[in-house]
Amino acid sequence: MLSERSKLSLCQFLALLPRDVLHILFQKHGLPPDGIKSDMFGFFPGLLDLLPERIGAASPEQLHELISEVIRTQSDLRSWVSPEERYDQRFFDMVHCFRLDGYGLDSRGLIPVDPTIEGTANIEDDLSAEVRQSGLPEGDEVLGRLDSSAGAFRQTPPDFNACLSNARVALQTLATAISRARRPEHPGTFDETSWGQVLAYLRSSGLITTEEEAGLAGVFRFVSPGAHRPLGPDETEMARLGRSLVASMCYFLVKRFNS
C-alpha cells in the first residue's frame, strides 16, 4: 500500500492537470468527482485542499488503476501542463516516493519490487504513529531524520549516501532514546555514543534477544558508510532496500518498547 507521503505527492501531481481532465480521470476510476469542476455553489475549491481527502479515501485498487493510467498516458497528460518542466518535476517526485514504498514502474503501472508488500500497511505510517505514542523526547528527531532520508532519495540528483546516513542516525537515535528511557527501571551502564554498547544494554535489560541484537547490528552495518556499494541491484535499489530495512527495525524497536 502507498504511504501518506506517496499519496500527497500524487495529489501535488494531479493538481497540475486541468480540472476537466482530472474530472474525467476521477469518474473513470470510481472516485467522487464532486468539486473538481466546481462545488454546488459554483465555486472552485483549491485542488490541493480537495485532493488529499479524496485520494486518502480511495481504495488501493482505485489508486492503482488511476496511477496506472497516469503512467500509460504520460505523453498526453504532459501536453496539458505548461511549462512542461512542472510536470517533469512533480512526476519525478511522485515516482521516487513510490520507490521508497517499494514500487517500481513499467508500461502497465505500479509493480511491487518486493511482492510481500502488496496488501500490507505501509511501515512508515505505522512507525510514525508508534513513535508519537512512545512519548520519547527524541521522537521528532527520529522522524525528522527519516524525512531527511526520504528527501535525499527524492532530490535531483539523488543523494544515496545522505539517504542511508540519515536512516542510520534515525535508528541509532531511537535505540539510544529507548535505552535512556528504560534505564531507571532497568539499571545498567553504557556509552550512549557507542552503538554496540546501546545494543548490548537493550539485550541485557531484556528488551531484545541475542538474535534480535544481531539483526539490528547487521542492518546498521549494511547502511553504514562504505557498506552499501551496489552488488547486483542498482544503487537506487540498494538505497531503497537499506532505508526500508532501517524503517522496519525502527518499527520493531519502538513497537517492542511501547508494548
187-230 pLDDT per residue, tens? 999 999 999 999 999 999 999 999 999 999 999 999 987 555 55
Co-location of 28 and 86 in the same domain: yes
**Which residues, in sequence order, are CB contacts of 28 under 8 Å at separation 6+?**
69
Residues 60, 37: Cα–Cα separation, whole Å = 24
Last residue of a domain, one of 83, 99, 115: 115
Last residue of a domain, one of 58, 81, 115: 115
User: Is residue 130 within 8 Å of residue 255, measured between CB atoms?
Assistant: yes
User: Does the pLDDT value for residue 43 go beyond 90?
Assistant: no
User: Does the pLDDT value for residue 23 go beyond 90?
Assistant: yes
Least confident of 74-83, 97-106, 110-119, 249-258: 110-119
Query: Looking at residue 107, what is its pLDDT?
Result: 73
Co-location of 243 and 133 in the same domain: yes
Handedness of CA 17, 18, 21, 26 (dihedral sign): positive
Look up the domain containing 251 and give its range: 123-258
Give me the CATH number covering residue 204. 1.20.120
Co-location of 110 and 133 in the same domain: no
Q: Give the count of domains, the chain.
A: 2
Last residue of a domain, one of 115, 141, 174: 115
Once rounded to an integer, what is the mean pLDDT over residues 88-117?
81
Question: Helix or strand or coil: residue 170?
Answer: helix
How buried is 189 (Cβ within 10 angstroms: 0-12 exposed, 13-18 middle, 19+ buried)? exposed
Q: Rounded to two decimals, what is the model's pTM?
A: 0.71
Query: Looking at residue 35, what is its pLDDT?
Result: 83
Once rounded to an integer, what is the mean pLDDT over residues 126-147?
95
Residues 253, 196: Cα–Cα separation, whole Å = 15
Residues 227, 138: Cα–Cα separation, whole Å = 27
The percentage of residues in the chain with a pLDDT greater than 90, rounded to a whole number, is 68
Co-location of 252 and 138 in the same domain: yes
Co-location of 168 and 245 in the same domain: yes
User: Is residue 160 within 8 Å of residue 239, measured between CB atoms?
Assistant: yes
The neighbour count for residue 35, using CB atoms within 10 Å, is: 21
Q: DSSP readout, 124-135? A: HHHHHHHHHHHT
User: Is residue 36 within 8 Å of residue 50, measured between CB atoms?
Assistant: yes
User: Is residue 178 within 8 Å of residue 136, measured between CB atoms?
Assistant: yes
User: Is residue 197 within 8 Å of residue 191, measured between CB atoms?
Assistant: yes
